[in-house]
Structure 1
């Protein structure tokens, strides 16, 4: 990173980074409810009949929300471009290069740059073994390219879950928000364990959707609370993981790949797999444990790119 001009002192205050975090998060979430095609609701009866409700998986809702998320992401990137430009106050002749690197728009094609993409799959060694037992991995007999790839990506749900969702969310919460905290001089630990909280909080609105969809009663409240708490927990933990990958590699592409992979895999189903394959219980457990061990080992060895602006060594602590 010797070619990248850096600041001698943090150009932003931590309070400003917090404000940018809140503003960018709200700028992504709130527009999702601007029109009736974005909100989830049960329409009133017309002539004694109730029209179909709009839910989050309705194509009309998905298409409108994808457009909203894309515009919000572009706006967030522009905001950070403006912040970085104003921080230099016209003294940096290569603002685009500075913005590109700080937002992680870099691709490292060396050995270390490839290994970082394997860390997340190693964590899912147990679930992958479960798919193997079910002959459901690529090119096995229960896997179909036409169904799993073409069919999925040609649907609006698949396009949302595996393309636009991961891409926009990582650009917002990793590229933009992490860059803001780094410019404020926040430590790497602070960035990893604090900045993703807003990522988890950005999923809290699903609680309202659950409440509306399941009847707006006490049972719906209970269901919404449990599902929202669970979703907030695992999305925040996932945010820790992606923030770590971003800081270590200096690139947003490993977090995007990890996001897509995790969306494909879903939440691990250890209990279900133990019931489905009782003759392989020991092997399943060992693969889950082995995946965790491999993850711990590789996270510290396969992720740190020498060219990362955000390197963990003190000699790399620059703004």
Structure 2
């Protein structure tokens, strides 16, 4: 079976990898603002900094027309990123592979497009961390087939344009760009596993900073609106970067992109944990809720150490540089 040639020597410089990082990140975000179809529009400044109702002339990110245009934009950006990395991987293996292998096998495996039956448990690592929030939803009767969960409503939400963006297109394209492509580029530059886990997600977090513009405008585009917009965006940057650490680790440990995609989709469905809200809502279950949250953390650590082990991993045990 064909395997990915290991980076015994760097085929890219670290500088080249940084340039690829910048190009792919900007190539994903900037097109969202280049056309009137993908660009958001807002009313003039309001008298207060509270979120306002959408005006007839405004275009918000949840408008179906905006979502459709942006899905086209990010799809084109993602395909372009894959083409670039295919060219780089193929060029680096020109001397060692025949034409057919160079075109397909090396690129697919270098980007983590591999599926193993043994990866089944890996997809439960992220849900394990959310054991506390899942218990909170259980108490609310909001898990599948419980009192406040209906199949028709959930299906409609999932396959609405917002659902397609949040649960399908977003996770797939973002993981392809920031996990498959960027991790591949830095691996070709000889970066260590530690570098890949803790550095590459920073650009993923930065790619969400542009949401400050939306938040600022929706609060009235005033000086007072700037502070909450900054705080919300910084929180989102922190949360997405932390998720990026988790996703990059999964990707490297398993040499497969698909656990990262399923983790991304699951996190988008669950949202940020609301421990304080759940404790206030269910004070008689306070102890059980806290136990569930703690148990989730313990199970997550155990799962990360054991469920992600792949003796045949082509990524994890092959860092060749101490570049920082």
Could you say which residue in structure 2 is the equivalent of 1:274?
279
Distance 1:153 1:75 in 2: 27
Deviation at 1:317, TM superposition (A): 4.5
Q: Which runs of 5+ in 1 are unaligned?
A: 45-49
Give the deviation of 1:87 after TM superposition. 1.5
Whether the 8 Å contact between 2:4 and 2:110 is mirrored in structure 1 is: no
Partners of 2:4 and 2:91 lie apart in 1 by 17
Partner of 2:108: 100
Deviation (angstroms), 1:154: 2.5
Matched, 1:171 2:176: yes
> What residue in structure 2 maps to residue 245 of structure 1?
250
Task: Give the match for residue 190 of structure 1.
Answer: 195
Q: 2:153 aligns with which of 133, 138, 147?
A: 147
2:114 counterpart of 1:118: no
Shift of 1:16: 0.7
Count of paired positions: 308
Matched, 1:39 2:39: yes
1-structure distance, mates of 2:159, 2:14: 43
The residue that corresponds to 1:47 in the other structure is: none
Shift of 1:240: 0.2
Cα offset, 1:215, TM superposition: 1.3
**1:304, 1:311 within 8 Å by CA — same for their partners in 2?**
no
Q: For residues 319 and 192 of structure 2, what CA distance do their matches in structure 1 show?
A: 9
- Are 2:193 and 2:319, in contact at CA under 8 Å, matched by a contact in 1? no
* Separation (CA, whole Å) in 1 of partners of 2:148 and 2:217: 37
| SS state at 1:303 partner | coil
State whether residues 63 and 156 of structure 1, in contact with CA within 8 Å, keep that contact through their aligned partners in structure 2. yes
Does structure 2 conserve the Cα–Cα contact (< 8 Å) formed by 1:309 and 1:318? Answer: no
Cα separation, partners in 2 of 1:317 and 1:231, compared to 1, 3 Å: closer
- Alignment RMSD: 1.6
Which residue does the alignment assign to 1:229?
234
8 Å contact 2:17–2:186 — kept in the other structure?
yes
Relative distance call for 1:260 and 1:163 in structure 2 (3 A) is same
Question: Would the aligned equivalents of 1:6 and 1:318 in 2 still touch at CA under 8 Å?
Answer: no
Structure 1 residues 7 and 285: CA distance shift in structure 2, 3 A: closer
The CA deviation at 1:88 is 2.1
Tell me if the contact between 1:207 and 1:224 (Cα under 8 Å) persists in the aligned partners.
yes
- How far off is 1:138 after superposition? 1.2
1:66 aligns with 2:74: no
Structure 1: how far apart are the matches of 2:267 and 2:8?
38
The whole-number CA distance in structure 2 between the counterparts of 1:194 and 1:255 is 17
CA distance in 1, matches of 2:146, 2:57: 39
Aligned to 2:135: 129
**SS at 2:117 equivalent:** coil
Q: Structure 2: which 5+ residue stretches go unaligned?
A: 45-54
1:9: which partner in 2?
9
Determine which of 221, 229, 242 is the counterpart of 1:216. Answer: 221
Match of 1:160 in 2: 165
Q: Please state how far the C-alpha of 1:216 moved relative to its aligned partner.
A: 1.2
Give the secondary-structure state (helix, strand or coil) at the position aligned to 1:267.
coil
1:300 match: secondary structure: helix
SS across alignment from 1:41: coil
Cα distance in 2 for partners of 1:27, 1:100 equals 21
Q: TM-score, normalised by structure 1?
A: 0.93
8 Å CA contact 2:89–2:107 kept in 1: the answer is yes
Cα distance in 1, alignment partners of residues 265 and 4 from structure 2 = 30
